[in-house]
Amino acid sequence: NAGVMQNPRHLVRRRGQEARLRCSPMKGHSHVYWYRQLPEEGLKFMVYLQKENIIDESGMPKERFSAEFPKEGPSILRIQQVVRGDSAAYFCASSPGPTHLHFGAGTRLSVL
């Protein structure tokens, strides 16, 4: 059973471009969470999704950020018009229900 798969592992974008981060949860897991880790900081919750539903997006910035978890395919975290402050590691986690989370290896976004 493969773990949580995130791609790409590293992503470089110039200011103003779009970033798309993908997360494939573990088989059988229907809950997906996105967290952001800024340099020298702990992880901060962004959004919690189940298939085709956003359950809690209280940690998402109000503009430029969106997330989806379609019926088929991976969960996508999309950042439009990236700025330097978006540079961070973005981690996805999945769980089969309200139990402990399994984290992916993360996507490290660098904005030039």
Partner 1 sequence: AQSVTQLDSQVPVFEEAPVELRCNYSSSVSVYLFWYVQYPNQGLQLLLKYLSGSTLVKGINGFEAEFNKSQTSFHLRKPSVHISDTAEYFCAVSDLDKGGSEKLVFGKGTKLTVNP
Residues in contact with partner 1 by CB under 8 A are 4, 6, 31, 33, 35, 40-45, 48, 55-56, 59, 91, 93, 95, 97-106, 108
10 vs 15, which CB is nearer to partner 1? 10
List of residues 6+ apart from 55 with CB closer than 8 A: 48, 49
Nearest Cα neighbor of 105 from 96, 93, 87, 88 is: 93
**Minimum CB distance to partner 1, residue 67 (Å):** 14
18 vs 95, which CB is nearer to partner 1? 95
3-class DSSP assignment, residue 27: coil
